Amino acid sequence: MLNRDSIRDGIVFKMLQENQHLNNIAPRTAEERAASLNATLAQAPAGTLDGDVWVFGYGSLVWNPAFEFAEKRRGRIYGYHRAYCIWTHMGRGTPDNPGLMLALDRGGSCCGAAFRIARDKLEEELSILWAREMAMNSYVPAWVTVHTDTGPANGLTFTIDRRHERYVGCLPPDIAASHLATAEGYLGTSAEYLENTVAHLEELGIRDANLLDLHRRVTALQRKRPVDA
């Protein structure tokens, strides 16, 4: 599992570089990531960077944020929904049996985890976050309004780039489940990713109907798989 130290030490870039032949896409350099981060911060709503900054997580960030934060809350954003809409050929799958990763796609709303990063740690922690989430060009960072029990706040999140070659849109549930049940890459299985997301969302009191349906389908498919002799 990825952690703060390994990400800071460049493990994501190294893994992507070593396995570039699987994606045919070069990972972003440290300079490119820094430019992306600076451009995103320059677009922050007025006053946002005067204090602590929120990050909205909807998938693996919910159960493995891998950055230091001062507070974690349940939050909801509008204008995007959580979806398995991008293939993974490395982390949770292979070119022959690609897995699926979650992203935020247009429309609807999404409940997830809101993390507050202290202002004095913002530069280092966002650099770590960028090394993980923006190592490739599949995501677009976005400023959103995160609604929490104590009120709204401006926050950062990562939305899907629909122009990306691995974007698949809305797959039929049976097709998505078949990949999630069987795909595995160097970070583990797609099924494990789904199970962790469902479990940790439920810890926040969030029951995502689409994820729960996929989880039931994946569990049923795995039970039908033959046991190796």
Active-site pick, 31, 125, 133, 165? 133
Buried b (16+ CB within 10 A) or exposed e, 118-143: eeeeeeebbbbbbbbbbbbbbbbbbb
| Local structure of 166: helix, strand or coil | coil
| Local structure of 70: helix, strand or coil | coil
Buried b (16+ CB within 10 A) or exposed e, 3-12: ebebbbeeeb
Q: For residues 176 and 214, is the Cβ–Cβ distance under 8 A?
A: yes
Active-site residue flag, 133: yes
| Local structure of 208: helix, strand or coil | coil
Active site residues: 133
